[in-house]
Amino acid sequence: MAAEQVAELASVAPPQGTMPARSYLESDAPRLSLNGVWKFRLHAGIRQAPQDGWQSGGDRPDFGDLPVPSSWPMHGHGTPWYTNVQYPFAVEPPHVPDANPVGDLFVEFEAGPEYFPAALIRFDGIESAGTVWLNGTLLGTTRGSRLAHEFDATGVLVPGRNVLAVQVAQFSAASYVEDQDMWWLPGIFRDVTLQARPSDGLDDVFVHADYDHRSGEGILRVEASREGQPAAAVVRVPELGLELPAGEEHRLPGVDPWSAELPRLYDATVSTAGETVSVQLGFRSISIEDAQFKVNGRRILLRGVNRHEHHPKLGRAVPREVMESELRLMKQHNINAIRTSHYPPHPDLLALADQLGFYVVLECDLETHGFEQGGWKQNPSADPQWQAALVDRMSRTVERDKNHASVVIWSLGNEAGTGENLAAMSRWTKLRDPSRPIHYEGDWSSAYVDVYSRMYASQAETELIGQGVEPPLDDADLDARRRAMPFVLCEYVHAMGNGPGGMSEYQELFHRHPRLMGGFVWEWLEHGITRTGPDGQEYFVYGGDFGEEVHDGNFVTDGLVDANRVPRPGLLDFKKVIEPLTIEVAADWSGFTLTNRFDFADTSGLEFRYTVEADGETVDGGLVDVAPVAPQESAAVRLPAGLLERTGQTPAVLTVSAVLTEDTAWADAGHEVAWGQESANLPLAPTAVGALAPEAGASQRAAGAGVEVEGDLLRLGPAVFDRATGQPVRLGDAAVEGLRLLLWRAPTDNDLGAEWGSPDPRPVATQWMDAGLNRMHVRLVGISSRPAEGGGEELVVRTRVAAAGKQFGVLAEYVWTSDGDTVSLQTTVKPVGSWVNAGWPVPWARIGVEIVMGSATKSVEWFGQGPHHSYPDTGQGTKLGWYDLPLKDMDVEYVRPQESGARSGVYSAALELDAGRLTIDGELFALTVRPYSLAVLDAATHRPDLVPDGRSYVYLDHAVHGVGTAACGPGVLEGYRLAPREAEFSFVFAVTQST
């Protein structure tokens, strides 16, 4: 028997014993959820699984309890395993390893008379292979972890007590085609139901709800079937007063079309004498014209994300309320499209997408990426023996979800190479549903798809494609065919750790070139798994933290939201980049230009508010009357007169926001959809600015302080220095433990990635480390004083900073002055030395200073961009304003600790220290404050490694290298790279008692 089971697990055939694939239907026929507590035991492999009649249930002391749906490693049985490309077992298809965890599960339930004479049992998800018994009778097997399987229970189900048993193997031949970038998590992870089948009921329904944008008519035809033949059924749409036989086409004038912006649905029923099925109709058309992707006759721009299904505590078993919260969060951040990477989602997600409004690229459960490492040899996509199984996967994908208006594109899979089996999947799909285009990124020649797709193409390459001047294919016919297709970035701006950078440049191209459909950020959700530390605090872990033999580390923790669905700064920036309205405020504050980038919705559901802030106080504001602006149109809007004049010479900011006027299904009234800003009276040089400045009048200030010698110390106004090193040791009453020039940062995930298309294949972090930026040493050149302009003296500290073994370095000169109350620092940086006669060989991470204060920081105030962090190629979602945050909220808790938390475009800041209030003014600097050192941050691998030491580490940066997306994709664009250069920058410091 064990040998037969081993052979079954290695079978490449489609599942056995399953009923024909069909739609996921909401029926009035009786159904019983079999979710709940099941009995469970785990074996090391199929050969270790005893043949002891467990399928009949009963009192089994060797079985424990396990909730279903669930991923059993999340409940303490075995461990999760993460790989991206590589398989977690030897690649010898179709064989699987002997070390292959196998779970036995059973549940007892009562079947009432309503389930006779006919019933079926449905599984919505089993990973990766299940064998199913009912009352000891074999029903069949499952293949396709994220695909539905239905088994005929007629004649096996009995009145009263029944036992449903399933044996689940973690790995099977099917695992070779399920090599998606995610955790391997076995179990029955989606719903299990018993469904009655009326003798005169419906087996399937196929709704065709088209829309003629020229006439404004809906075109409805509903196919109803029973045992493979058309069924006599009646279709009713009460709101439209419609009743017609199934199979007939009917044109309906004046219907409201469905779109992601206006997701209009009509409730309908399809009925026979024995069963009524409820469906929601969304009338919409999909077309490709002039190399443009269109819905209802209009070119559509996809502002999308790739979405995996993951829960940090439950694994693959994601509750419906969590899915719904995700989609609401997406809508709140202007996202209008989802690619279901890389498999069909739980059916509930698509019902929510219909109702809330999303364009969905629905992907088949197929990926064979691990075969790329062997040159695609034995790839199932090209192996004839796999064709039936792969076509079966595609057919069940299409059949289950064909009635959803939100599904606008079918995708054959992901990163599965190419081959005849994919072409066969495409042919089947076109025959079954010619209304939707077909997508598959791996078909670069676009021989069997309708949409040209790439992942991580650079901005430059994307522009060439948008212009239609990309390099030609060798085959002229295929080249002509591809140039007639719209182009989509099915994955782009890889959102791993700090980033992604360069989003705006892509979006500008999408708006400029109609051929570009938009794209899908990789990815929506990080796949962290929750672990509790010794202190009781939860944090996320990743690949390798479970002792996996091979793994891909923290590559699984990439997303616009963390595993708990908390937005990362990248999501806040993405919201701004893709906002469906642009608000350009005039420099004189007289008005603004409003451009409606919606495809179907006008602006009547929005109201426009303006707010004027001066010195951190709101001094004016109100509503602006704006007539509705049609889609893709612009309007000039006047603001109340005199707004700018009323601010005087005070630094001030005008913000205009577009907000919802009423509650919607996805956000409350007042939710901000888009905004624009303009500022005035901003300081040009570092001086104490407004509310953040120390309270000291001009009469209290000296014209200029001199340098005084006090034993081993030097005093300059409120600052005290070490006489031997020139290092500051005190600012007012606050101890200073160090100041240094800094060119290094703790590498981000993107810094650690190889920059695609770069002449230097090394990750930029490797370049920095090879150049020694992380191990720079200081040599004191000299300390001196000299007269200062305007009176008093300057303290001048000259240093040379370089790494061991390197000829190149930096001359850093610090010039300190004081007016008696404040102390000013002017820093001059000059690269010196040579490296193969080419100067500095690498870009720098930053140009700035680190100041270590001897006391902890409680909170940080600043006037600059905020409230979240920003870098040269990110921060689009930040606003200029006055902010005050506790120190803990200044950091971004990325799963793998890295550079983060910088507030850029800062004019003035104040730190509430235990020892007083430190104010800092500067020339548009970036501010970062941490309670632990850069060395601690650099060495950390998980959040608990970051232990505060009672100090404050303050980073004041004149310039910063961008972040890019090199973790998987293009690196930092040239305009955001920090080339070594001379620099000069200044800051003004003061310490006063805390208020």
> Hey, what domains does the chain have and what are their CATH numbers?
2-196 (2.60.120.260), 579-680 (2.60.40.10), 707-992 (2.70.98.10)
Q: Is the pLDDT of residue 357 over 60?
A: yes
At 994 the pLDDT is 63
* pTM of the predicted protein model: 0.96
Is 793 catalytic? The answer is no
Which tens digits make up the pLDDT trace of 66-101? 999 999 999 999 999 999 999 999 999 999 999 999
879 to each of 596, 654, 863, 927, 969, how far by Cα in Å?
A: 21, 10, 10, 15, 28
Q: Is the pLDDT of residue 333 over 50?
A: yes
Q: What amino acid is encoded at 973 in this protein? A: L
Q: Is the pLDDT of residue 689 over 50?
A: no
For the chain, the average pLDDT equals 95
Q: What amino acid is encoded at 969 in this protein? A: G
Q: Could you tell me if 922 and 740 are in contact, meaning their C-beta atoms sit under 8 angstroms apart?
A: no
- Residue 88 CA to residue 185 CA, distance in Å, equals 12
209 to each of 215, 256, 279, 925, how far by Cα in Å?
A: 15, 12, 11, 56
Secondary structure class of 401 (helix, strand, coil): helix
Q: How far is CA 293 from the centre of its chain?
A: 24
E strand residue ranges, 640-742: 652-660, 672-680, 707-710, 713-716, 719-722, 728-731, 734-742
- Residue 869 CA to residue 887 CA, distance in Å, equals 13
- Residue 387 CA to residue 14 CA, distance in Å, equals 9
At 834 the pLDDT is 67
Q: Could you tell me if 49 and 104 are in contact, meaning their C-beta atoms sit under 8 angstroms apart?
A: yes
Task: Give the model's confidence band at 687: pLDDT under 50 very low, under 70 low, under 90 confident, else very high.
Answer: low
Q: Could you tell me if 441 and 416 are in contact, meaning their C-beta atoms sit under 8 angstroms apart?
A: no
Task: Give the model's confidence band at 1: pLDDT under 50 very low, under 70 low, under 90 confident, else very high.
Answer: low
Which tens digits make up the pLDDT trace of 291-330? 999 999 999 999 999 999 999 999 999 999 999 999 999 9
Q: Is the pLDDT of residue 695 over 50?
A: no
Cβ count near 759 (within 10 Å): 5
Stated as kind and residue range, the H or E segment containing 477 is helix 476-483
Q: Is the pLDDT of residue 697 over 50?
A: no
Q: What is the dihedral angle through the alpha carbons of 679, 579, 577, 566, rounded to the nearest 10 degrees?
A: 100
At 587 the pLDDT is 97
Q: Is the pLDDT of residue 195 over 90?
A: yes
% of the chain surpassing 90 pLDDT: 93
Long-range contacts, stretch 388-392, CB < 8 angstroms, 24+ apart:
388/13, 388/14, 389/12, 389/13, 389/14, 389/143, 389/174, 389/177, 390/177, 390/366, 390/421, 390/422, 390/424, 390/425, 391/421, 391/424, 391/425, 391/428, 392/14, 392/15, 392/143, 392/144
For 486-510, letters b (16+ CB in 10 Å) and e give: bbbbbbbbbbbbbbbbbbbbbbebb
At 7 the pLDDT is 79
Average pLDDT over residues 572-576: 99
Task: Give the model's confidence band at 761: pLDDT under 50 very low, under 70 low, under 90 confident, else very high.
Answer: confident
391-405, 485-499, 696-710, 782-796: least confidently modelled range: 696-710
- Identify the CA nearest to 542 among candidates 101, 302, 896, 826: 896
- Residue 975 CA to residue 459 CA, distance in Å, equals 13
In 499-655, alpha helices (H):
503-512, 569-577
Q: Is the pLDDT of residue 765 over 50?
A: yes
Residues in the chain: 995
Q: Which two tokens stand for residue 423?
A: 């072409």
- Identify the CA nearest to 911 among candidates 962, 865, 946, 956: 956
Is 491 catalytic? The answer is yes
200-214, 292-306, 673-687, 841-855: least confidently modelled range: 673-687
At 837 the pLDDT is 44
Q: Could you tell me if 111 and 52 are in contact, meaning their C-beta atoms sit under 8 angstroms apart?
A: no
Stated as kind and residue range, the H or E segment containing 314 is none
At 686 the pLDDT is 66
Cβ count near 865 (within 10 Å): 22
Average pLDDT over residues 953-974: 97
E strand residue ranges, 511-575: 516-521, 529-532, 538-541
Task: Give the model's confidence band at 684: pLDDT under 50 very low, under 70 low, under 90 confident, else very high.
Answer: confident
In 880-967, alpha helices (H):
934-939
E strand residue ranges, 44-128: 64-68, 81-83, 102-111, 119-123, 126-127
- Identify the CA nearest to 528 among candidates 975, 74, 125, 143: 74
Task: Give the model's confidence band at 703: pLDDT under 50 very low, under 70 low, under 90 confident, else very high.
Answer: low
- Identify the CA nearest to 200 among candidates 222, 153, 248, 232: 232
User: What residue has token string 């913000």?
Assistant: 655
Q: Is the pLDDT of residue 926 over 70?
A: yes
Q: Is the pLDDT of residue 993 over 90?
A: no
Q: Could you tell me if 597 and 632 are in contact, meaning their C-beta atoms sit under 8 angstroms apart?
A: yes
E strand residue ranges, 282-418: 286-289, 292-295, 298-299, 302-306, 337-339, 359-363, 407-411
Q: Is the pLDDT of residue 2 over 80?
A: no
- Residue 918 CA to residue 910 CA, distance in Å, equals 5
Average pLDDT over residues 150-155: 98
How wide is the angle at C-alpha 795 spanned by C-alphas 791 and 799, nearest 5°? 150
Task: Give the model's confidence band at 693: pLDDT under 50 very low, under 70 low, under 90 confident, else very high.
Answer: very low
Q: Is the pLDDT of residue 829 over 70?
A: yes
At 685 the pLDDT is 65
430 to each of 21, 288, 435, how far by Cα in Å?
A: 17, 15, 8
At 995 the pLDDT is 59
Of the residues 127, 491, 526, 850, which is catalytic?
491
At 81 the pLDDT is 98
- Identify the CA nearest to 82 among candidates 538, 533, 527, 564: 527
Which tens digits make up the pLDDT trace of 107-148? 999 999 999 999 999 999 999 999 999 999 999 999 999 999
- Residue 518 CA to residue 521 CA, distance in Å, equals 10
% of the chain surpassing 70 pLDDT: 97
Of the residues 415, 613, 899, 912, which is catalytic?
415
DSSP 8-class letter at 458: -
Q: What amino acid is encoded at 568 in this protein? A: R
Which tens digits make up the pLDDT trace of 860-887? 999 999 999 999 999 999 999 999 999 9
Task: Give the model's confidence band at 589: pLDDT under 50 very low, under 70 low, under 90 confident, else very high.
Answer: very high
Q: Could you tell me if 148 and 27 are in contact, meaning their C-beta atoms sit under 8 angstroms apart?
A: no
217-231, 683-697, 768-782, 784-798: least confidently modelled range: 683-697
Average pLDDT over residues 426-455: 98
Secondary structure class of 559 (helix, strand, coil): coil
Q: Which two tokens stand for residue 553?
A: 């580390």
Per DSSP, what are the bridge partners of residue 38?
66
At 836 the pLDDT is 46
- Residue 8 CA to residue 100 CA, distance in Å, equals 14
Task: Give the model's confidence band at 790: pLDDT under 50 very low, under 70 low, under 90 confident, else very high.
Answer: confident
At 142 the pLDDT is 98
- Identify the CA nearest to 139 among candidates 130, 148, 147, 126: 130
At 705 the pLDDT is 86
Q: Which two tokens stand for residue 450?
A: 């309708």
- Residue 14 CA to residue 392 CA, distance in Å, equals 7
